[in-house]
């Protein structure tokens, strides 16, 4: 069972308590965007075998969206962080670096 | 290669079965091929087979990272059906189902196709209406399906409890010509036929890089040396994104784990395939007597080929409610496969942004049933360079154009 620490309420939640929201840090396209840009935003994904940054929602808990750094191959979790950011925080990146080198 | 027949069986049995030859050869890779297919699963081998059989292209290599048929071809619940809503899906899945009917004779290899009938249970009013709609669509498409009553469900499947407390059975979409086949035999049969045509099946050969020359030919770096080809077909299911990244493009695909499990063998008690999409439980009985059980896919990206434990619990709980008789069965084995999910839950058989690279992926949780049809359509695309009638709607462009083949709405679930 995948367990993630909700960075808002501090609860370590089982995956049954959470809803996955897919890849994080996507560039959101607006009304003037081209078909290519919308395709990119809506459908094209890196789908990495390895480290992924993704969105999760603590649906059966505090209800907040948050972000997770996880490995899709080993299921290792490197850290969770609040969703109000455009890129992963330095602390999480350092944690990934520390465990991958 | 010697033909399998009753006569050869008799002859070999007199010889204590010492004279059987290997079903396929394992040659060293050449430097150059007309076509290279990456992925020796069902879809890859079927593509190669129909390239040779329908289009006369036989200078073909099929590269496989692991062992032949060891990915999703060996990890599914072997259900074959074609009762889809959208015309494009119905066409390719029905082509596939009809090819399965003649595949044993075609390949001279017993794939144990068993058209025992597939029943998709309606357990909510929404689902019941949805299946009636599919039934109407199937009539127009010329696919024989029937919407049946709970009483008829009970008649066809004696061990089912139609009065389930949570989700009683309200009816079912019944496809009498659907069924199951032996999954390994499908891969082995195609492999034997490909090898017979002189194609090279190269196992334990991982692709590590793809680059294009000025003349359009492709250089493939592999763990067994460099291979050059004129046309490349990517048929690697869950790892499509990884391979596409090597060639420099992205796909509308997310990879997730889907699991299945089998019980200890019991005496024959279930002679149809039952699918319950609302509660996510699929069950059939194998020829060995094991209950073959499938459930829902994980909700998050995953390449681990294990899957989440919670899905086993959910699936088994749902099935015990419908089939109280199985409540004390022990489960023998559980496994996971990495399925490639597209946004509209329909596959991709398409040209790619790189010239001479073609891709066949996105079959998601419904890959096994589509193996022959998928190979047929992909072979046509690769041989002619343009898609035929079957493949045309399944191009990569549809995501840009918003021309979806929306089977997720049609079925209400991943399937």
pLDDT per residue over B243-289, tens digit each?
A: 999 999 999 999 999 999 999 999 999 999 999 998 889 999 999 99
Please name the member of B239, B299, B400 whose beta carbon is closest to the beta carbon of A35.
B400
Give the residues across from B258 on adjacent strands: B297, B337
Quick one: average pLDDT of B380-402? 96
CA closest to B298 among chain A residues: A20
Q: How many domains does chain A have?
A: 1
Give yes or no for a contact between B146 and B172, defined as CB atoms under 8 angstroms apart. no
Mean pLDDT computed over every residue of chain B: 95
Interface of A to B at Cβ within 8 Å reads 1-2, 15-16, 19-20, 22-23, 35-36, 38-39, 42-49, 52, 54, 70, 72-75
User: Which is more confidently placed, B324 or B411?
Assistant: B324
On the question of pLDDT at B411 being above 70, the answer is no
B250/A16 touch (CB, cutoff 8 Å), yes or no: no
B399/A16 touch (CB, cutoff 8 Å), yes or no: no
Domain B27-78+183-252+344-411 CATH class label: alpha beta
Please name the member of B254, B304, B401 whose beta carbon is closest to the beta carbon of A75.
B304
B241/A22 touch (CB, cutoff 8 Å), yes or no: no
ipTM of the complex: 0.93
CA closest to A44 among chain B residues: B252
CATH code for the domain of A46: 3.30.2270.10
Quick one: average pLDDT of B311-337? 94
Structural domain that includes position A58: 3-100
- The two three-digit tokens of residue B289, written as one number: 């007597």
The Cα of A37 is separated from the nearest Cα of chain B by a number of Å equal to 9
Residues in A closer than 8 angstroms to B343, CB to CB, are 42-43
Q: Among B359, B396, B400, B403, pick the best mutation site for testing chain A contact (most A Cβ within 10 A).
A: B400
Please name the member of A36, A38, A49 whose beta carbon is closest to the beta carbon of B303.
A49
pLDDT at B415 (0 to 100): 46
Give yes or no for a contact between B121 and B275, defined as CB atoms under 8 angstroms apart. yes
Every domain range in chain B assigned CATH 3.30.9.10? 116-177+255-342
Every domain range in chain B assigned CATH 3.50.50.60? 27-78+183-252+344-411
Give the separation between CA B184 and CA B139, rounded to whole angstroms.
32
B241/A15 touch (CB, cutoff 8 Å), yes or no: no
Quick one: average pLDDT of A9-38? 94
Please name the member of B241, B301, B399 whose beta carbon is closest to the beta carbon of A43.
B399
- What's the pTM value of the predicted model, to 2 decimals? 0.95
Give yes or no for a contact between A64 and A57, defined as CB atoms under 8 angstroms apart. yes
> Where would I find the beta strands (DSSP E) of B1-88?
32-38, 60-63, 79-80
pLDDT at B306 (0 to 100): 86
Give the separation between CA B66 and CA B342, rounded to whole angstroms.
24
- The two three-digit tokens of residue B217, written as one number: 């030919």
CATH for B116-177+255-342, options being 3.30.9.10, 3.90.1150.10, 3.30.1490.20, 3.40.140.10: 3.30.9.10
Please name the member of B255, B301, B310 whose beta carbon is closest to the beta carbon of A16.
B310
pLDDT at B409 (0 to 100): 60
């Amino acid at each position: 069972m995948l367990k993630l620490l909700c960075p808002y309420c501090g609860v370590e939640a089982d995956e049954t308590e959470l809803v996955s929201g897919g890849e994080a840090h996507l560039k959101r396209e607006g009304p003037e965007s081209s078909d290519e840009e919308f395709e990119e935003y809506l459908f094209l994904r890196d789908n990495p075998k390895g480290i992924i940054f993704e969105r999760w929602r603590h649906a059966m808990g505090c209800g907040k969206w948050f972000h997770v750094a996880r490995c899709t191959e080993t299921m290792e979790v490197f850290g969770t962080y609040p969703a109000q950011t455009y890129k992963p925080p330095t602390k999480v990146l350092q944690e990934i670096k520390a465990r991958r080198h | 290669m010697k033909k399998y027949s009753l006569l050869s069986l008799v002859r070999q049995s007199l010889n204590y079965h010492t004279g059987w030859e290997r079903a396929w050869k394992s040659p060293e890779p050449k430097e150059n091929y007309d076509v290279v297919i990456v992925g020796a699963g069902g879809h890859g081998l079927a593509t190669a087979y129909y390239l040779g059989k329908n289009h006369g292209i036989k200078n073909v290599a099929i590269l496989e990272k692991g062992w032949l048929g060891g990915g999703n071809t060996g990890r599914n619940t072997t259900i074959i059906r074609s009762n889809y809503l959208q015309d494009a899906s119905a066409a390719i899945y029905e082509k596939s189902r009809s090819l399965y009917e003649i595949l044993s004779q075609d390949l001279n290899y017993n794939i144990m196709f068993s058209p025992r009938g597939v029943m998709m249970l309606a357990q909510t009013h929404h689902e019941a209406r949805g299946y009636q709609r599919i039934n109407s669509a199937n009539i127009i498409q010329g696919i024989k399906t029937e919407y049946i009553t709970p009483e008829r469900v009970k008649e066809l499947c004696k061990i089912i409890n139609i009065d389930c407390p949570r989700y009683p059975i309200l009816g079912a979409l019944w496809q009498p010509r659907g069924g199951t086949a032996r999954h390994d035999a499908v891969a082995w049969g195609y492999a034997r036929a490909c090898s017979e045509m002189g194609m090279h099946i190269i196992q334990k050969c991982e692709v590590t890089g793809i680059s294009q020359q000025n003349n359009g030919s492709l250089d493939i770096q592999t763990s067994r040396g460099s291979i050059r080809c004129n046309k490349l077909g990517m048929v690697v299911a869950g790892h499509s994104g990884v391979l596409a990244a090597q060639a420099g493009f992205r796909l509308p695909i997310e990879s997730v784990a889907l699991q299945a499990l089998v019980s200890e063998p019991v005496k024959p008690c279930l002679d149809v395939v039952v699918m319950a999409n609302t509660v996510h439980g699929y069950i059939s009985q194998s020829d060995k007597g094991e209950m073959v059980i499938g459930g829902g896919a994980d909700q998050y990206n995953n390449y681990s080929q294990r899957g989440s434990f919670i899905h086993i619990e959910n699936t088994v709980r749902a099935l015990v409610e419908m089939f109280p008789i199985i409540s004390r069965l022990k489960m023998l084995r559980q496994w996971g496969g990495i399925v490639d999910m597209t946004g509209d839950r329909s596959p991709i058989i398409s040209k790619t942004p790189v010239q001479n690279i073609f891709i066949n992926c996105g079959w998601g949780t419904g890959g096994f049933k589509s193996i022959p049809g998928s190979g047929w359509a992909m072979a046509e695309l690769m041989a002619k360079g343009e898609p035929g009638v079957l493949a045309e709607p399944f191009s990569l462009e549809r995501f840009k154009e918003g021309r979806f083949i929306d089977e997720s709405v049609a079925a209400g679930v991943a399937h």
